[in-house]
Amino acid sequence: MREIQMVDLKTQYKNIRSEIDDAISSVINSTAFIRGPEVKLFEQELQNYLKVKHVISCANGTDALQISLMAAGLNPGDEVITSDFTFIATVEVLALLGFKPVLIDPDPGSFNVTPGNIRKAITTKTKAIVPVHLFGQCADMDGILKLAREYNLLVIEDAAQATGTDFYFPDGKSRKAGTIGNAGTTSFFPSKNLGCFGDGGAVYTNDDELAGKIRSIANHGMKERYHYYNVGINSRLDTLQAAILRVKLRHLDRYNEARRSVADFYDRAFAGCPEIIVPERKAYSSHIFHQYTVRIANGKRDDLKKYLDGKGIPSMIYYPGPLHMQEAYRYLGYGSSDLPVTTSLCRKVLSLPLHTEMDKEQLEYITVNVLEFFERKV
Ligand SMILES: *Cc1c(COP(=O)(O)O)cnc(C)c1O
């Protein structure tokens, strides 16, 4: 059996090696390493895939969040509502820009923020919501957009884990994650569903004016050369990464489908095991399983993780500690009994190996061992 990994980028690369190597050598031969033609081409191809008017590429997913929040016209002290159960980047950029992160609990079944919890956190100072489409499934964007309209709030979606996820509106229309709010952001970190061979990110928007501002901020605040309209930053996607992403975008739907079949296999295997709560799938969203994250109901999560380690099966805890209790964010004034859903999730969640190159032998080995831990023979 091939070694089991959380993500197997090596096998994935081997399976598309000639396409990737051709793309890389063509950039090297052109030496157009910065702002080469592949960057624009990739942006256009991603626009077509996502059916969004503007894709503005940048250096990473954290920059994408920062740039879109810089462009949003918020003022220091404005409150921005986001999840306590996410990767730190989402909260960090709010703090960096002098906004007040208002952290809320997610829904324990889908791990995503809910309109109900957002509504409870809205004050007269609230200016924006940053929903995170965690682990590959959309938050309830229909409910979130309704709240945003009611309270005149901006919505910036963190879609770093949801490149290709579809959100289904009640009227039957669908939109891709990240293209629903005022702007959406993503990351092309290698392990993301659409990952490059280094760092990369992008902002999406259908708003022409916002797009212009975002593009300018990502490029030192410049519009015409050496004329500066905004205080900007320097955040670019390399041509090499864009060329790699053009190849990988062509495989994205197939990759997301492969991930979904792994999740289906796990769901079926764990169906009769009450100690394992499988990820909830919402009717309003597809799920591209950036992670397959279960909750271990009997308090044995850490023992299971150790047991699996001993069997050569890696697993990860996303995320091990609630953000409201991190040292750097003490100043926000949260206490240990605030945000109990996140605190409880951090003790229960376990993400199992899931990637585009998993085979049946590996999946059987993993599920047999997980079930054996709970002494349930398959
Ligand atoms: C990966 C990720 C980011 C940050 O992306 P980088 O490219 O690593 O900066 C932001 N938010 C979420 C939810 C992520 O998963």
Please report, for the chain, the start and end positions of each structural domain, with discontinuous segments joined by +.
9-104+112-250, 252-375
The upper half-sphere exposure of residue 131, i.e. CA atoms within 13 Å in the direction of its Cβ, equals 37
Q: Whose CA is nearest to atom 3 of ligand 1?
A: 61
For ligand 1, whether the C-beta of 177 sits within 6 Å is no
For ligand 1, whether the C-beta of 203 sits within 6 Å is no
The superfamily CATH assigns to domain 252-375 is Aspartate Aminotransferase, domain 1 (3.90.1150.10)
CB 188 within 8 A of CB 245: yes
Q: Helix, strand, or coil here: 257?
A: helix
CB 279 within 8 A of CB 110: yes
- Residue in the block written with tokens 């889908």: 110
Cα(186) to ligand 1 centroid in Å equals 7
Q: Helix, strand, or coil here: 375?
A: coil
Atom of ligand 1 lying closest to residue 134 CA: 13
How far is the C-alpha of 238 from the C-alpha of 216, rounded, in Å? Answer: 17
Total residues found in the chain within this entry: 378
Best mutation site among 187, 192, 291, 351 for ligand 1, i.e. most ligand atoms within 8 A of its Cβ? 187
- Residue in the block written with tokens 């923020």: 113
Question: Residue 377 has what pLDDT?
Answer: 57
For ligand 1, whether the C-beta of 89 sits within 6 Å is yes
Best mutation site among 158, 193, 197, 199 for ligand 1, i.e. most ligand atoms within 8 A of its Cβ? 158
Question: Residue 241 has what pLDDT?
Answer: 98
Question: Residue 110 has what pLDDT?
Answer: 97
CA-wise closest residue to 69 among 217, 224, 187, 220 = 217
Question: Residue 375 has what pLDDT?
Answer: 86
Cα(244) to ligand 1 centroid in Å equals 19
For ligand 1, whether the C-beta of 62 sits within 6 Å is yes
Q: What is the pLDDT along the chain (378 residues), one digit of tens a residue?
A: 999 999 999 999 999 999 999 999 999 999 999 999 999 999 999 999 999 999 999 999 999 999 999 999 999 999 999 999 999 999 999 999 999 999 999 999 999 999 999 999 999 999 999 999 999 999 999 999 999 999 999 999 999 999 999 999 999 999 999 999 999 999 999 999 999 999 999 999 999 999 999 999 999 999 888 899 999 999 999 999 999 999 999 999 999 999 999 999 999 999 999 999 999 999 999 999 999 999 999 999 999 999 999 999 999 999 999 999 999 999 999 999 999 999 999 999 999 999 999 999 999 999 999 999 998 755
The upper half-sphere exposure of residue 200, i.e. CA atoms within 13 Å in the direction of its Cβ, equals 26
Cα(318) to ligand 1 centroid in Å equals 13
Question: Residue 378 has what pLDDT?
Answer: 53
The model's pTM: 0.97
Q: According to CATH, what is the number of the domain 9-104+112-250?
A: 3.40.640.10
CB 350 within 8 A of CB 293: yes
